[in-house]
Amino acid sequence: MSLLVTKDLVKWFGDTHAVDHVNFTVKDSEVLALIGSNGAGKTTLVNLISGLFRPDGGQILFRDADVTHQSVHGRIKAGIARSFQLVNLFDQLSALDNVALTIFSREGKTRNLATLASGDSAVWDEAVEILRLFGLEAKARMLAGGVSQGERKLLDVAVAYALRPKLLFLDEPTSGVSTREKAPIMDTITSVVRSTGISAAIIEHDMDVVFNYSDRIVAMHQGTILADGTPDEIRRNEAVTTTLIGTTETR
Ligand SMILES: Nc1ncnc2c1ncn2[C@@H]1O[C@H](COP(=O)(O)OP(=O)(O)O)[C@@H](O)[C@H]1O
Ligand SMILES: [Mg+2]
């Protein structure tokens, strides 16, 4: 069943057709990779779905409800969460505080730094559990600004996961980390996603990562969907191989 469907979604920036009548779907419980060269429209598509941009046309349906004009907050409550290409953490707070703050905000509880540590043991227990899921429990007390780049990327995903999404968009979860660190990061993210039955849509440039970890791949090019299929189908898709995979720059 489809968790998310976009119908003829359109976003223009001046003369640039960033997203050009895109019909994009995410199914229940799948790991989807969104690929495409630089400027293909991937981030714009995610921005439209998460509510950061207003579309110029088309519709977004999430669990059969029309969320096209819903606020960012409303979409988060409905179950759509995202991480950003550049991590979005409070560097001066601990890893645990970063996750706990997200849980507090999810629950509509405001916290400032002075009251952060008070009360609500259920929130702190949940924050510890989420860090454990992401293999970060040993880093709980470290400042987010002080952990390794790979751990920061995982922490950023953990923060988005703390919103309890049904659909998690990840914009380049392995960018800026060494090749050696990519596999453990993707192992962790996909095992959390698969064990909890949620769906993830991951923008990724490293084709080894894309082919190894995704159930389905959607390739974008110049604002449109060029191909949509299983890793095997995409490997054999001539339009994709000539447009994307053959080039060294898939960013
Ligand atoms: N906020 C913006 N203002 C103007 N143009 C934008 C903006 N965001 C994206 N674009 C343009 O839209 C196109 C798609 O960009 P983007 O979605 O960032 O692509 P990708 O994430 O696939 O690299 C590009 O031509 C880009 O320059
Ligand atoms: Mg992008």
H-helix segments, the chain: 42-50, 72-78, 95-106, 121-133, 149-161, 179-196, 207-213, 231-236, 238-240
Tokens of 133: 């899921």
Asked whether 49 lines ligand 1 (CB < 6 A), one says no
Please give the number of the atom of ligand 1 that sits closest to the Cα of 41: 17
Distance CA 28, CA 187 (A): 20
Q: Does domain 1-75+202-251 have CATH number 3.40.50.300?
A: yes
Q: Tell me the C-alpha distance between 207 and 125, whole Å.
A: 37
Q: Is 137 exposed, middle or buried (0-12, 13-18, 19+ CB in 10 A)?
A: middle
Q: Where are the domains of the chain?
A: 1-75+202-251
Q: What is the pLDDT of residue 117?
A: 61
Whether ligand 1 lies within 6 angstroms of the CB of 249 is answered as no
How far away, in angstroms, is 75 Cα from ligand 2 center? 21
Q: Which residues surround the ion ligand 2 when the cut-off is CB under 5 Å? A: 43
Per-residue confidence in pLDDT tens, the chain, 251 aa:
799 999 999 999 999 999 999 999 999 999 999 999 999 999 999 999 999 999 999 999 999 999 999 999 899 999 999 887 666 799 999 999 999 999 988 887 766 655 666 667 889 999 999 999 999 999 999 999 999 999 999 999 999 999 999 999 999 999 999 999 999 999 999 999 999 999 999 999 999 999 999 999 999 999 999 999 999 999 999 999 888 866 544 44
CA 53 to chain centroid, in Å, comes to: 16
The model's pTM: 0.92
Collapse the DSSP code of 21 into the 3-class scheme (helix H, G, I; strand E, B; otherwise coil) and give the result: strand
Residue 82 half-sphere exposure toward CB, CA atoms < 13 A: 22
Would the CB of 15 count as within 6 Å of ligand 1? no
Burial of 141 (0-12, 13-18, 19+ CB in 10 A): exposed
Strand order in the sheet with 216-221: 80-82, 167-171, 199-203, 31-35, 216-221, 224-229
Is the sign of the CA dihedral 229, 82, 197, 94 positive or negative?
positive
Nearest ligand, measured from the Cα of 219: 1
